[in-house]
Amino acid sequence: MGGQEIEQLIRLLGRLPGFGPRSARRVALYLLKEPQTRLAPLAHAMERAGNAIKTCSSCGNLDTIDPCHICSDPLRDQGLICVVETVGDLWALERAGVHRGVYQVLGGTLSPLAGIGPEDLDVAPLFEKLNKGTVREIILALGATVEGATTMHWLMDQLAPYGGVTVSRVAQGVPMGGALDVLDDGTLAAALGARRPA
Amino acid sequence: MGGQEIEQLIRLLGRLPGFGPRSARRVALYLLKEPQTRLAPLAHAMERAGNAIKTCSSCGNLDTIDPCHICSDPLRDQGLICVVETVGDLWALERAGVHRGVYQVLGGTLSPLAGIGPEDLDVAPLFEKLNKGTVREIILALGATVEGATTMHWLMDQLAPYGGVTVSRVAQGVPMGGALDVLDDGTLAAALGARRPA
Ligand SMILES: [Zn+2]
Ligand SMILES: [Zn+2]
């Protein structure tokens, strides 16, 4: 519909997660009806966020500072590291406000079938900290999926040599087949509170 | 989460139609994970579309040229005007490819309760064409809602003095309470094909 600029906008919107052609057209129309008050501010916010975004070299979080505001917060327990699959999971735990330590974002899960191996996971910062001896406890907060379980068992093998480090895993509350970032705050709190030795 | 640039992006995404806080975070994360290949092209497309967008002075369509590509197409029947509520309805009819004339986009419907009166509808171009005597037939393609019916009856009153103009309305296929732009192409074709005198 309309000129190529409009068609290109609809095409790119249609690639967003959760979008189809219909929702892409709907959002495009919504924005184009009020270019000055709807479209321009969003385009500007996207540009600003795109220019500001950094991946935290310490934990893998997305933030506008590196180290991120969690890793650089002196009130967070640097000796307590929660391992999550994605930045979305980290954000979910932060919204719930149930973790007072820091994080390690793996950026994925092991999946032999999909050809995703240990070298594809972002674990180097975690083992650097372990080798420095600054880690006291690790919480494995992975999804209750086949890939999450595979990843957890591989991690537990890697962590076994670090005898002085307590390793626990979130257990109660994570439904089978479920990802962490769809859970409500109470469920996340329960899952963390009821963690048990791995 | 993260810096204010990220929070502002999530806030603006959350205002889009069909979005909640969760889908806003999901889309923000998707974009921010790949700023160069995902976020920048979309921001650029939005800027280009925002700079190019024009409201057609002849029919109310959103396009990058004025008159729009429909109004300026010599192969379209300028004497056959389909009246629709929104640009989304126009786009739906164009996708279905069932109308060979041109359009008038009202930009809304009459709603005494919401304080929307005739002066808020974009009908001036339609009556200019009627007064010039270039209109042969008008199809009222309004939604089967209370407001759509109110608008249709008001329009029919306004059109009554133009004795030589055939006025019809889409009938079969528009479900009660339904808007036009959710219908499949076949239903739209049937609704137009089975139009009857108003
Ligand atoms: Zn960090
Ligand atoms: Zn036009």
pLDDT tens across B114-161, in order?
Answer: 999 999 999 999 999 999 999 999 999 888 778 988 999 999 999 999
Q: Do A30 and B16 touch (CB under 8 A)?
A: yes
Domain range B62-197, CATH class: alpha beta
Q: Return the exposure string of B67-90: e unless at least 16 CB atoms fall within 10 Å of the residue's CB, then b.
A: bbbbbeeeebeeebbbbbbbbbbb
- For strands A62-63 and A54-55, give the pairing: antiparallel
Contact B43 A41 (CB under 8 A): no
Measured in angstroms, the CA of B103 and the nearest CA of chain A are apart by: 14
**pLDDT for res A109:** 94
In this structure, which amino acid lies at residue A171?
A: A
Are A49 and B88 a contacting pair at CB < 8 A? no
Helix extents (H) in chain A = 4-13, 21-33, 40-52, 87-96, 124-132, 146-159, 185-193
Contact A27 B41 (CB under 8 A): no
Q: What is the pTM of this model?
A: 0.80
Query: A21 C-alpha vs ligand 1 centroid, how far in Å?
Result: 36
Indicate if the pLDDT at residue B177 is higher than 70: no
Give the torsion sign (CA, B112, B116, B118, B121). negative
B88 versus A181: the higher-pLDDT residue is B88
Element (DSSP H or E) covering residue B167: strand B166-169
Say whether pLDDT at A62 is over 90: yes
Average pLDDT over residues B48-74: 96
Residue-wise pLDDT tens digits, A3-17: 899 999 999 999 999
Is 70 exceeded by the pLDDT of residue A171?
no
Distance A126 CA to ligand 1 centre (A): 11
A4-52 belongs to CATH 3.30.70.20: no
Give the three-state DSSP class for A169.
strand
* Beta pairing partners, A62: A55
The ligand whose atoms approach the alpha carbon of B55 most closely is 2
Of the pLDDT bands very low, low, confident and very high (cuts 50, 70, 90), residue A38 is very high
Contacts of B28 in chain A (CB under 8 A): 49
Cα distances from B163 to residues B38, B142, B158, in angstroms, run 56, 22, 11
Q: Which ligand is nearest to the CA of A54?
A: 1
pLDDT of residue B176: 52
* ipTM field: 0.81
User: Coil, strand or helix: which one is B41?
Assistant: helix
Per-domain residue ranges of chain A: 4-52, 62-197
Of A29, A64, A95, the CB nearest to B5: A64
Averaged pLDDT score across all residues of chain A: 89
Find which of A23, A30, A34, A46 to mutate to test the B interface (most B CBs within 10 Å of its CB).
Answer: A46
Could you give the percent of chain A with pLDDT greater than 70?
87
Q: Tell me the C-alpha distance between A80 and B136, whole Å.
A: 77
Nearest to A5 among B29, B32, B64 (CB): B64
Asked if A165 contacts A135 with a C-beta cutoff of 8 angstroms, the reply is yes
Environment of ion ligand 2 (residues, CB < 5 A) = B 56, 58-59, 61, 67-68, 71
Nearest to A12 among B42, B52, B62 (CB): B42
| Chain A residue whose CA is closest to B64 | A3
Give the pLDDT confidence score for residue A144 in this predicted structure: 73
Of B45, B52, B91, the CB nearest to A3: B52
